Amino acid sequence: MSVLDNKKISFIGGGNMAQALISGLVGCGIKPNLITVADPSSDIREQLAAKGLNTVDPMADAKSAVVGADIVVLAVKPQMMKVVVGAFADALDNQLVISVAAGLSTDLLSSMLGGYSNIVRAMPNTPSMIQMGATGLYGTDNISAEQKELATAVMEASGLVMWVDNEEHMHAVTAVSGSAPAYMFYFIESMVDGAVALGLDKEQASALAMQTMLGAAKMAMNSEDTPAELRRKVTSPNGTTQAAVESMQANEIGRQIGEAMQACYDRSQALSEEMSK
């Protein structure tokens, strides 16, 4: 039995992230007829209706998407949020609102919603599209224990969930998970290029690099050892792995990764400030 049983969930926006979350929810046993999606695209509405979901044209009647809902997920672009939520804000009545829009603080969202404060801010990442995501959550003081459970259940349908106590830490979440899939893709890309330069064809190099990344991540998740200890265990003295690791250390790859994450953090803060103006 799930805390989401018989809960009505409305998505404002039916794009990629919304569809990823919906796929996860349906996969976890949520009945499609309990999910409503409001999206201006008739193609998206037809596509989702074919899967048994309820759909609403927000241009015709935005409020019908939230009236009677238990949970409202805001899945529209940040720059569109104010206009979109303005069409139904006065229809909110104790629903849990979850925003997956990057850069919008709970204070700013509350202002856009006319002072409504039952808000949870989420920072998912793109692997949520295959139910392998990692999501950071922050809730306002107005969120009840039950609503916190609901928000956790909604986002856990697409992967790992981690709550933070300080909203400023959402910038750190962005740096370590929200934007981080791109870091992993960049590392894989570089490994493939390196392997091709060493004589493998691209198909071989890609398969080996991607499986190695996946396997190493699973080992780290399932092991009682820290990643540092796992690295030490696989690094034989004077061996090939040591030569590679020492090359990375000499080039201060660890420091460069830290600087990249700081750049992400700083940009996340700046974008949030820009959105607040």
In whole angstroms, give the CA distance from residue 22 to residue 88.
21
1 is a domain residue: no
Buried b (16+ CB within 10 A) or exposed e, 110-135: bebbeebebbbbbbbbbbbbebebbb
CATH code at position 218: 1.10.3730.10
Of 109, 136, 170, the last residue of a domain is: 170
Residues 184 and 164 in one domain: no
Question: Which parts are annotated binding residues for NADP(+)?
Answer: 12-17, 75-78
Q: Is residue 145 part of a domain?
A: yes
Per-residue pLDDT tens digits of the chain, which is 277 residues long:
589 999 999 999 999 999 999 999 998 899 999 999 999 999 999 999 999 999 999 999 999 999 999 999 999 999 899 999 999 999 999 999 999 998 899 999 999 999 999 999 999 999 998 999 999 999 999 999 999 999 999 999 999 999 999 999 999 999 999 999 999 999 999 999 999 999 999 999 999 999 999 999 999 999 999 999 999 999 999 999 999 999 999 999 999 999 999 999 999 999 889 888 7
CATH number for 123: 3.40.50.720
pTM for the full model? 0.92
For residues 83 and 37, membership in a common domain is answered with: yes
Give the domain range for residue 146: 9-170
Whether 3 maps to a domain, the answer reads: no
Position 119 in a domain: yes
Q: Judge if 33 and 163 occupy the same domain.
A: yes
- Give the C-alpha distances (Å, rounded to integers) separating 238 from 21, 28, 232, 246: 47, 49, 13, 10
Does 157 share its domain with 112?
yes
Contacts of 116 (CB under 8 A, 6+ apart): 89, 92, 97, 110
Q: Classify residue 95: in a domain, yes or no.
A: yes
CA atoms within 13 A on the CB side of 100: 28
CA 155 vs CA 74, 81, 100, 114, 128: distances in Å: 13, 20, 10, 25, 9
Note whether 157 and 197 are same-domain residues.
no
Are 76 and 12 in contact, with CB atoms under 8 Å apart?
yes
- Total number of domains constituting the chain: 2
Residues 92 and 112 in one domain: yes
Is residue 101 located within the same domain as residue 157?
yes
CA dihedral 258, 260, 262, 266 (to 10 degrees): 180
Binding residues: 12-17, 75-78
pLDDT tens per residue, range 155-191: 999 999 999 999 999 999 999 999 999 999 999 999 9
